[in-house]
Every structure is written in C-alpha cells, then in structure tokens.
C-alpha cells in the first residue's frame, strides 16, 4: 500500500487535465500534508483525494478477494480507517477535504472541485474578519 497510490493513477490524471483546462492551478502529492493529498489548492486550503475503488472500498466496486479473505478484510478496513484519520488531521489544520472515487466522471469531478475552490476563496476566513464585526 505504501508504494501503491503514490504514483498518479489514470483517473487522477484525467481530473488534473480537466482542472488545468479550467485554468485551475494546484500542487500534487503535497508532501507536507497528512496523507499527501493527490491534488492541493494551497490558497483555498483545499485537499482532494482520488480514491481507488478497490483500496478504499468503493460501495460499487469494492470487491473482496476470495483468497485470504480475512487478511484482505482487515487490510482494506485499515485503509478506510486511515483515510478518516487523514481527514481529521487535515481539518484540524484548517483544510477542507474532498474525496472522489476513481470511477467518477473526471469532468464532473473537476466541476465540483472548481465550484468548491471558488466558494472557499470567496468565503472570508475567520481570522480575516475585522474585530468590529465580532
């Protein structure tokens, strides 16, 4: 698992291409953030993960291998738990986290990311509010 998921997968590449086409700029596999999110928008503090259907147990395609079933069950369950831990760590640092499945339509995913990104940039941060408003 350590090796897997590090290299960019094809769905992720398609999503990145869509985002580029829309003029969005981002960092990939940000090493300084919990879980090394696949796509990161630093100014909006938005972290995006494109989760593999098998490794992250997609409800539609997350099939359990027949051999060594118990071992896989435990392993994949741990992945899912680790995903939630990463999310918690990221939001504790003030980041918004979005997860998408690799089976989702790249254009639709890019639209949603685009929308979220714009929203985050136009939403005033709590610390930027003037003291008069409090």
Q: Does residue 10 interact with Zn ion by CB under 5 A?
A: no
Q: Could you say which residues in the range 18-37 bind Zn ion, by CB under 5 A?
A: none
Contact pick of 43, 103, 118, 129 for Zn ion (by CB under 5 A): 103
From the list 16-24, 32-40, 71-79, 94-102, the region that binds Zn ion by CB under 5 A is 94-102
Nearer to Zn ion, 101 or 117 (CB): 101
DSSP assignments along 23-51, one per residue: T---EES-TTSTT--SEEETTTTEEEEEE
Q: Does residue 80 interact with Zn ion by CB under 5 A?
A: no
Cα–Cα distance, 55 to 102 (Å, whole number): 11
From the list 15-23, 40-48, 51-59, 114-122, the region that binds Zn ion by CB under 5 A is 51-59
Contact pick of 26, 95, 101, 117 for Zn ion (by CB under 5 A): 101
Q: Does residue 61 interact with Zn ion by CB under 5 A?
A: yes
Q: Does residue 53 interact with Zn ion by CB under 5 A?
A: yes
Taking the complex as a whole, the smallest distance from the CB of residue 134 to Zn ion amounts, in Å, to 45
Cα–Cα distance, 111 to 24 (Å, whole number): 11
Cα–Cα distance, 113 to 128 (Å, whole number): 24
* Binding region for Zn ion (CB under 5 A): 53, 58, 60-61, 101, 103
């Amino acid at each position: 698992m350590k090796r897997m998921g590090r290299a960019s997968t094809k769905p992720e590449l398609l999503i990145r291409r869509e985002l580029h086409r829309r003029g969005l700029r981002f960092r990939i596999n940000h090493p300084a953030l919990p879980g090394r999110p696949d796509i990161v928008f630093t100014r909006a503090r938005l972290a995006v993960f494109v989760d593999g259907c098998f490794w992250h147990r997609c409800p539609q395609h997350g099939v359990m291998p027949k051999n060594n079933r118990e071992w896989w069950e435990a392993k994949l369950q741990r992945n899912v738990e680790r995903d939630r831990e990463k999310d918690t760590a990221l939001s504790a640092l003030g980041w918004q986290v979005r997860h998408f499945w690799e089976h989702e339509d790249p254009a639709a995913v890019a639209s949603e990311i685009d929308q979220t990104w714009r929203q985050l940039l136009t939403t005033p941060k709590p610390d930027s509010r003037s003291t008069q408003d409090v």
